Amino acid sequence: MDMNQILENLARMTKPSSIKESSGYECEACCDFGYLWKLNEFPKECGCNLKKMNDVYLERSSELFAEEYKDFTLKSFIAKEQFQKYMLSAANNFLTKTGVFSILFLGQSGVGKSHICIAIANELIKTGAYV
Ligand SMILES: [Zn+2]
């Protein structure tokens, strides 16, 4: 966004609401800029910005996760063995408890490490986390 566009957006945002025309922007409050500007104040982040960032994160994450992995959830993880039930419990704790910042799964091939890690990533992506 160049300076002219910023000035145009500022002028549009400072018009009295009675003469505001439909701008065509998704967010009328910030004209899709992501920040609210007022004279003599620091810009404030607009509420629409979080959604925009989540969309960016989702797009970036989708580059990492192929379509076939999108349905990998903790509910679809089949825990037959006791250690797999522990993996599932650890994954749920990781997602729900505060103060848990990392998780590590070690084990032989085919026990579900990838499935459960992708499921965790999918859950995090839904919250807007960058994975
Ligand atoms: Zn906005």
**d(CA 37, ligand 1 centre) in Å:** 11
Residue 40 sits in the same domain as residue 66? no
**d(CA 28, ligand 1 centre) in Å:** 7
Residue 119 sits in the same domain as residue 69? yes
pLDDT tens digits, residue range 95-124?
998 887 889 999 999 999 999 999 998 888
Residue in the block written with tokens 């091939």: 109
Residue 69 sits in the same domain as residue 22? no
Look up the domain containing 117 and give its range. Answer: 61-126
Question: Is 67 among the domain residues?
Answer: yes
Question: What pTM was estimated for this model as a whole?
Answer: 0.53
Question: Is 112 among the domain residues?
Answer: yes
> Which residues does 84 contact at the CB level (< 8 Å), separation at least 6?
77, 78, 111, 112
Neighbours of ion ligand 1 (CB under 5 A): 27, 29-30, 46, 48
Residue 86 sits in the same domain as residue 41? no
pLDDT tens digits, residue range 34-57?
899 888 899 999 989 877 887 777
